[in-house]
Structures are given as C-alpha cells and as structure tokens.
Amino acid sequence: MFIERSETVLTSGDDSSLVVDTLYDQTWGHSAGVTCFYFDFAARKEQSATNVLGSLLKQMVSGTGKIAEEIRQTLREQKEAPGGRRPQLVHIVKMLQLITSSQPTYICIDALDECTVVERLRLFDSLKEILERSPCARVFVTARPHIRDEIEKRLAGRVTSVSVGPTRDDIVGYLRARLSEDETPDAMDEVLEAEILENIPENISQMWVEKILRMPSYIVR
Amino acid sequence: MSGSHFIGPIAPHPAFVQPGPAFLFFHRPSNNDTQRRQLFNRTSSKHSKMSRYTIKDNTNCLNTTNSITVQNNLTIADDRFQLLTWLSPLDPGLRHWDIQERRVKDVGEWLIGTEEFRRWCGLSGEGKSDKAVLFCYGNPGVGKTFIR
C-alpha cells in the first residue's frame, strides 16, 4: 500500500516526536504503552540492535505494572548470572514479545537509515519476531526513501508506506520567511526576490534547499 | 518521594507521575517543557549526588536512623538504575525532549489526521489495520530547516 502526501514539511525527527506525543495523548488512561528510539549516525557504533531493543525494553520495564516486575526479576537473574553476561538479543526479543503480546504497544523508530546495515537487518528480523507474536504491537518507522524496499521486503505484508516531503508552496513559504530575516535588506529588491521565489523551488532538490538556505544571503546571490 | 520509585535519569519526576499509559517515560506534551526540563535536570543531578552518597555511605559507619533510611532507599534505587543501565546504555529521552521543544506547532499534524495513521494506531473506530508497520519516508534536510 502506498499513498503520496506532501501537504507540509516534516523531518523524521519531528515526525516521530509528534507521533510519540500523539500516541501518548491518545492512549492516555488506556492500558497501552508507547516507546521510541531516535537513531543518530554519529552514535551508530553504540546503536546496535541489541542496545536499541534493550532501550525499548528499558522503557517498558520502567513501568510499575505486574509484568514489569516479573521481567525485572528475569533481568536481575541474567545480570547476576555467573560471568556477568551482557544482555543477549534473543532474550531481549523474548521479553519484548512477552510484554507486547499482553498489552497494546507502540514502538516508534526514527531515522532508521542512520543505523548500520547489519544492525538494521537484525532489527528488522527482531521486529518481525515481535510482530508475529503480538497482534496488538504497532511499529512506526521514519527513514530516507532508500530504506523503503528493504523494510517492505523484510517485514513483508505488514507495512503501509507514506511519503512525506515539502510541497512547492512549503518551499516558497520558507524562502519568504528567510528572506524577511535578511540581514542586508538593502541588497534585496522586488525583482531579485521574485527571481529567487521563482527559481529556487523549481530547480533545486530538497537537500540543496537546506544547504543553500543555511548560507549567508550574499552567497546565494 | 519514595526512593523505590526512582529508576534513574529516565524516570519521570514524581511531580509528573500520574495515571496514563502502562509505560511511557516521556511526559504528556504541554506548555511546560522548560519547567519539565528543569525538573528533569534536577532529577538527574539529584541521582548522581545520590550515587556518590551511596559510595560514601558504604565506606563510612552510619549511626543515625535518618542516614540508614536514606541508604536503604538508595540501595533499591541504584539496583533498578544499574539494572536498566545494564539492559541498554542508550537513553532516547533527552533527544525526544529536544525535538519536542524545537518542533513547530501544527507541522506534521496532517499525518495524524490521515486515515492511514488512524487505522494503523487503531484509534479510528473503523478497526485496526492489518498492517502493523507504518513507514514514513522522505529526504532529510528541508524539514529540519523549516522548524528552526
């Protein structure tokens, strides 16, 4: 399933953060849980599938429910096992399955493309295992477009894809806002402004819009 | 504040503990982000202070009832904190607040209003979608600038 939407501008981060807050509001008073994780390219070494899923589990067991207490006990036993082993992915997935199959759970993952390929594939496999066991679990993912084929293949039959991005009007609106902040307004006239508003949205890719707009206005000219 | 409810930097400040989802360590969105962050910071620094006290208390002889009570609470708190840290060193809470604070009002609201979103999260009353995964994709960059 694929729908095209571009009414407004989102980054993955805003998107996920908004979704997390919305889910939190919507599930208020219900027996449901909301967890999230934000990937960051700069931290990709630490953001392994094990650590990421561990972080989600951590959020879930931070609750004070009965299940959380049982899980905490299991974790304590593992932690205190001879040799002081690290948390194992297989155990974390099992515990996530246990929690998500007992109450509706939302998992929001932001900027999945910033995860390394190997860890991403591990994450997909783990999410698949969780979803197979937990019909009430819901996963929200944001990423750059090139991840689409991968996620639709790895989580086949479970994915609804939505395209987000700015419209031409969004870009013009943004340009107007930035031009009004111009630190050298004398250098701007109506003709130049019209030219910018006409040409930039037409000729520029999304990535470059940001790069150019971050430059001082005299370089743009 | 009961020490046993303290689970480390990701724990909500007790002032915010109220009925809600079974688990969510982020707070309900409100206009009190700044106040919330201040409280969060206070909680964090309190915790590091508490940890230091624990080490100190262990090496010193405690001879007042008060100190012993505090130590007992800290033992429980630290056990949980260590357990959760062991589980994963990663803490997305701060990142969430950071984005939440910078987010422009109404940006992205359209997504929440779509049938796809409502069906995905099962809140539309039309029955949950059989697709458990909602994948939003787009190029990075522009949006970030838009919300500055």
pLDDT higher than threshold 80 for residue A77: yes
Give the three-class secondary structure for B43.
Answer: helix
- Identify which has the larger pLDDT, A44 or B69: A44
B30 and B54 inside one domain: yes
Enclosing domain of residue B7: 3-100
B87 and B68 inside one domain: yes
B49 and B68 inside one domain: yes
B74 and B20 inside one domain: yes
B45 and B113 inside one domain: no
pLDDT digits (tens, 9 = 90+) for A192-203: 888 888 877 766
B7 and B74 inside one domain: yes
Confidence at A204, pLDDT banded by 50, 70, 90: low
B85 and B127 inside one domain: no
Q: Which residues of A132-145 are buried (b: 16+ CB within 10 A; e: fewer)?
A: eebebbbbbbbbee
Burial of A190 (0-12, 13-18, 19+ CB in 10 A): exposed
pLDDT for the residue numbered B37: 41
Nearest in space to A155 (alpha carbons), one of A130, A187, A174: A130
Phi and psi at A126, nearest 5°, equal -65, -45
The pTM of this model reads 0.64
Question: What domains lie within chain A, and their CATH numbers?
Answer: 2-163 (3.40.50.300), 168-220 (no CATH)
Using DSSP, how many helices (H) and how many strands (E) does chain B show?
6, 1
Using 50 as the pLDDT threshold, list the residues of chain B that sit under it.
Answer: 1-76, 142-148
B73 and B7 inside one domain: yes
B128 and B114 inside one domain: yes
B29 and B89 inside one domain: yes
B54 and B123 inside one domain: no
**Stretch 32-71 of chain B: residues touching chain A, C-beta under 8 Å:** none
Count contacts between A and B (CB, < 8 Å).
Answer: 280
**Stretch 89-118 of chain B: residues touching chain A, C-beta under 8 Å:** 89-92, 95-96, 99-100, 103-104, 106-112, 114, 116-117
ipTM of model over 0.85: no
Distance CA A15, CA A18 (A): 5
Domain count, chain B: 2
Instruction: Pick the last residue of a domain from B82, B100, B118.
Output: B100
Distance CA A127, CA A130 (A): 5
Q: Is B133 on the interface with A (CB under 8 A)?
A: yes
